[in-house]
Structure 1
């Protein structure tokens, strides 16, 4: 009798609950909103500099930049790079998605982090998570 195929998650069935079910995005590196803002801002600046008269800012780009400006928690590029680099030390314990969520949400405490990122429950101790949250806040506070 042939072995049953492993069920693949259909696109759109991703879930960031107690278990991360990211479908085709499983294992794909993710960015926080602040990191995405940094990438988009750099790309837009380069394109404007390359062709100042030919660059056309679309409504979609404007709305996306407005969203990222609103929800970006890090305003200083160097502080963001340092925080993201520091958080990479936890790559053995935390998924890329969880690390990007911690940088995006900048939770106030362990309970909030576990509520907003349920996959953290049982994955990392409360003490270690508290230390991560405090360190992220240090970088964020430096960022302004």
Structure 2
């Protein structure tokens, strides 16, 4: 996979190549920093957007009417159209995440996160973990093809076990 060029905040072109985890300054882990690098899979991003929309809708409802402490939007289903944003960009993002998120409910997303962040996966970069949580693979070979940076990090058997475990949580 050929590296692409990217403009940074200082307008200097930077080489970006996901196959070797050269992802740009936003994804560089500084081992001396207290901040952890976080990369979300599509299912996690979907849940965060839904929760943010719930909070916004509840705040608006509280300002406009007395709801007796009950939160109308907390009781709504995750994909209820009432939670969609009126902002077209946010709506398209929500639609994309609802379509392509592998894992639907919060319990499953938490179980997948626990699996991906287990000690046996501690050698994997947060970007690799996010890709493993977002993409669906038939086997370890396909996972290595789609995420080339996995080469040399996990044995075929260990990667196959991880792929199989992730598939058990799918929709």
TM-score category (smaller protein): 0.7 to 0.9
Unaligned runs of 5+ in 2: 1-5, 9-13, 30-36, 65-82
Deviation digits for residues 80-136 of structure 1 (CA, Å, limit 9, x no counterpart):
111111210144221111011001002111111011100001111000000000111
Q: TM-score, structure 2 length as denominator?
A: 0.71
Q: TM-score, structure 1 length as denominator?
A: 0.83
Which residue of the partner structure matches residue 93 of structure 1?
123
Which residue of the partner structure matches residue 162 of structure 2?
132
Instruction: Check conservation: 1:110, 1:129, Cα contact below 8 A.
Output: yes
Task: Write 1 or 2 for the structure with the bigger share of helix.
Answer: 1
Kindly indicate whether structure 1 or structure 2 has the higher relative contact order, using CA contacts under 8 Å at least 6 residues apart: 1
Which residue of the partner structure matches residue 102 of structure 1?
132
Which residue of the partner structure matches residue 20 of structure 1?
21
Does residue 20 of structure 2 align to residue 34 of structure 1?
no
Does residue 59 of structure 2 align to residue 50 of structure 1?
yes
> How many correspondences in the alignment?
132
> Equivalents in 1 of 2:167, 2:136: separation in Å?
7
Which of 146, 152, 157 pairs up with 1:116? 146
Unaligned runs of 5+ in 1: 1-8
Q: Helix, strand or coil for the counterpart of 1:13?
A: strand
Report the CA distance between 1:137 and its aligned residue: 1.0
Report the CA distance between 1:10 and its aligned residue: 6.2
Tell me the C-alpha RMSD between the 2 structures: 2.1
The structure that has the greater radius of gyration is 2
> Equivalents in 1 of 2:124, 2:87: separation in Å?
36
